[in-house]
């Protein structure tokens, strides 16, 4: 039996390795060609100190206090030369992937489906044998190369990988390079190159209630997260607020309803900012955040949307005089 370890580097690159039973994370990484910073291998220098964000592990008793203090260990810091995984884990490495002599992986896949969900949103699905080797954390993204150019565009996964297939929600930008390809030229079987996974916006271990805030196609990482949560379950309440500009921007509502049926403690709402909207709930997401969603600060907030939305939510939370336990966010802006 082995465990999957996600190594998150400070430049946003994520690489997955397999650790054998009883094998330290450092040894597993080196065996697979990734040079985590390391010096003594004996738990004496602290050079391999990282932070374990999720998972169960054993640190043993061989390291010394100068390398890793009791307080640091209690916070989740680890020495990878001593850390032996007892489950799948996520480890944050305080070094770039380049320093660790690794790089983001590249994959070739074929378009399996392109669907225009609305005037503003395109659903893209890719499939290929190579993607069966693609691992990522729900919420992360990849760079897709636009066929016929040297340009790439970053898109969050809207689903987890299953049988070599992944999906994305892509904003249909008039004149946009990727948008133009998908709406005018793309067909099933066309090849695309993916590079990644990337990003520090991903679902952490659920230890308290979650408030998920999505703006437009910023819904994508949340449908991937909810897919993961539906599979593993959660003991904590989860609420998602999905905000868009116009009625036609609302997509994947049937998928959110399906998640509400699958996940007993998951609820969601949507709102439309345009005053001309016929949707029952109008306004911005901040107008629909209730006190119970903030839970007096004992909440983890995940936010994905355009920069003005991120700033508006940040200001709103500060105005409530509440400091959430964690506030994870990702800003995105469409490229012309």
CATH code of residue 244: 3.40.50.80
The rounded distance, in Å, linking the Cα atoms of 281 and 272 is 7
* Residues 216 and 190 both lie in one domain: no
User: Facing residues of 193 across strands?
Assistant: 108
Whether 153 and 70 have beta carbons less than 8 Å apart is answered as no
Q: Give the separation between CA 220 and CA 218, rounded to whole angstroms.
A: 5
Name the band, by pLDDT with cuts 50, 70 and 90, for residue 223.
very high
Domains contained in the chain, number: 3
Q: What is the pLDDT of residue 96?
A: 87
Give the pLDDT confidence of 234-292 residue by residue, as tens digits. Answer: 999 999 999 999 999 999 999 999 999 999 999 999 999 999 999 999 999 999 999 99
What are the residues whose beta carbons fall under 8 Å from the beta carbon of 60, sequence distance 6 or more? 43, 82, 84
pLDDT exceeds cutoff 60 at 335: no
Of 67 and 109, which is predicted with more confidence?
109
Give the domain range for residue 74.
2-93
Task: Report the distance separating Cα 184 and Cα 334, nearest Å.
Answer: 18
Residue 156, Cβ density class (10 Å: 0-12 exposed, 13-18 middle, ≥19 buried): buried
The mean per-residue pLDDT over the stretch 12-27 comes to: 93
Band of residue 43 on the pLDDT scale cut at 50, 70, 90: confident
Cβ atoms within 10 Å, residue 161: 18
Residues 85 and 153 in one domain: no
Question: Measured between alpha carbons, how far is 239 from 266 in angstroms, rounded to an integer?
Answer: 6
Res. 166: pLDDT tops 70: yes
Q: Per-residue confidence at 1, pLDDT binned at 50, 70, 90?
A: confident
Share above pLDDT 90 across residues of the chain, in percent, rounded to a whole number = 78
* Residue that is last in its domain, among 163, 198, 233: 198
Q: Are residues 25 and 64 in the same domain?
A: yes
Statement to judge: residues 322 and 233 lie in one domain: yes
Residues 7 and 45 in one domain: yes
pTM recorded for the entire structure:
0.86
pLDDT value, residue 333: 66
Indicate the pairing of strand 89-93 with strand 2-9: parallel
Burial (0-12, 13-18, 19+ Cβ within 10 Å), 88: middle
Residue 334 has pLDDT above 70, yes or no: no
**Given a cut of 60, is residue 41 above it in pLDDT?**
yes
């Amino acid at each position: 039996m082995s465990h999957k370890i996600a190594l998150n580097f400070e430049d946003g690159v994520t690489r997955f390795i397999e650790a054998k039973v009883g094998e330290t994370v450092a040894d597993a990484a080196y065996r697979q060609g990734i040079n985590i910073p390391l010096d003594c291998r004996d738990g004496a220098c602290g050079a391999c100190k990282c932070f374990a964000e999720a998972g169960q592990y054993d640190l043993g008793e061989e390291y010394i206090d100068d390398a890793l203090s009791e307080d640091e260990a209690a916070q989740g810091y680890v020495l990878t030369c001593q850390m032996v995984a007892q489950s799948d884990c996520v480890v944050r490495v305080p070094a770039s992937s380049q320093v660790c002599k690794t790089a983001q992986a590249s994959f070739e896949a074929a378009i399996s489906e392109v669907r225009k969900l609305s005037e503003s949103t395109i659903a893209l699905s890719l499939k290929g044998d190579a993607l069966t080797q693609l691992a990522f954390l729900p919420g992360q993204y990849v760079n897709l190369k636009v066929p016929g150019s040297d340009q790439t565009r970053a898109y969050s996964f809207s689903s987890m990988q299953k049988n070599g297939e992944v999906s994305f929600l892509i904003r249909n930008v008039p004149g946009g390079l990727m948008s133009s390809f998908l709406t005018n030229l793309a067909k099933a079987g066309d090849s695309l190159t993916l590079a990644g996974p990337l990003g520090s916006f991903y679902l952490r271990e659920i230890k308290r209630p979650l408030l998920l805030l999505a703006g437009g196609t910023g819904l994508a990482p949340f449908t991937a997260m909810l897919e993961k949560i539906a599979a593993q379950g959660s003991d904590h309440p989860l609420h998602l607020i999905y905000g868009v500009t116009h009625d036609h921007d609302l997509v994947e509502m049937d998928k959110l309803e399906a998640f509400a049926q699958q996940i007993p403690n998951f609820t969601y709402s949507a709102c439309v900012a345009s005053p001309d909207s016929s949707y029952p709930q109008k306004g911005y997401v901040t107008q629909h955040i209730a006190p119970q969603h903030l839970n007096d600060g004992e909440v983890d907030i995940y936010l994905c949307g355009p920069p003005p939305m991120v700033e508006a939510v940040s200001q709103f939370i500060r105005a409530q005089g509440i400091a959430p336990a964690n506030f994870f966010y990702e800003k995105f802006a469409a490229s012309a």
